[in-house]
């Protein structure tokens, strides 16, 4: 069982801010949040990471970690992309940077799909709609119905057949 926050624990302003963001604060959750925030800050992506967490409505640690990773990959990819704009890069270095950018953005897209699966339980909702095209010649008439119920003709035939 995970223990609740004890009154004799160290209380800093940062820790109080983290505790305020947790639904059920306990020692492990607070320590994990502090560590994630510290790592994101060291990677210089704290603001984008926290913005991503808030935007997607991350509700658990896995979603929050993935949001932080996505922010880091996106930032690194954009930094590499900005470097490719430099006109003094040798062609080989330019190609390498573009290749790295493409891999990072592919990783970003994969992470977004993973996040979507986490949030939806891996379920897909598919809606199939049938479309019907009807061509009517001049002077002609047409009736189009979304649903056709089973008619009563079959019932009359069965009665007559007896």
Residue in 98, 57, 51, 83 with CA at minimum distance from that of residue 70: 51
Q: Report yes or no on 26 lying in a domain.
A: no
Q: Report yes or no on 35 lying in a domain.
A: no
Q: Report yes or no on 22 lying in a domain.
A: no
3-state secondary structure (DSSP) of residue 4: strand
pLDDT for residue 128: 85
Task: Tell me the per-residue pLDDT of 102-148, one tens digit each, with 9 for 90 and over.
Answer: 999 999 999 999 999 998 887 777 888 877 778 888 888 887 766 76
Q: Report yes or no on 12 lying in a domain.
A: no
* 140-to-135, 136, 137, 147 alpha-carbon distances in Å: 9, 6, 5, 22
Q: Report yes or no on 19 lying in a domain.
A: no
Q: Report yes or no on 1 lying in a domain.
A: no
State the residue range of the domain holding 129: 43-162
Q: Which residue has the higher pLDDT, 34 or 57?
A: 57
pTM of the predicted structure, to 2 decimals: 0.62
Please return the burial class of 119, using the count of CB atoms within 10 Å of its CB with bins 0-12, 13-18 and 19+.
Answer: middle
The total number of structural domains that make up the chain: 1
């Amino acid at each position: 069982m995970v223990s609740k926050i004890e009154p004799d624990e160290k209380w800093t302003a940062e820790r109080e801010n983290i505790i305020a963001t947790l639904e059920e604060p306990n020692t492990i959750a607070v320590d994990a949040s502090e560590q994630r925030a510290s790592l994101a800050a060291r990677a210089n992506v704290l603001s984008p990471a926290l913005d991503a967490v808030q935007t997607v409505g991350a509700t658990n640690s896995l979603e929050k970690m993935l949001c932080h990773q996505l922010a880091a990959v996106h930032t690194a990819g954009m930094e590499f992309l900005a470097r490719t704009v430099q006109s003094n890069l040798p062609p080989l270095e330019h190609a390498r940077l573009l290749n790295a950018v493409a891999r990072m953005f592919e990783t970003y897209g994969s992470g977004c799909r993973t996040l979507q699966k986490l949030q939806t339980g891996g379920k897909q909702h598919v809606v199939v709609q049938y479309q019907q095209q009807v061509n009517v010649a001049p002077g002609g008439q047409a009736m189009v119905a979304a649903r056709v119920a089973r008619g009563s003709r079959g019932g009359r035939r069965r009665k007559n057949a007896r």
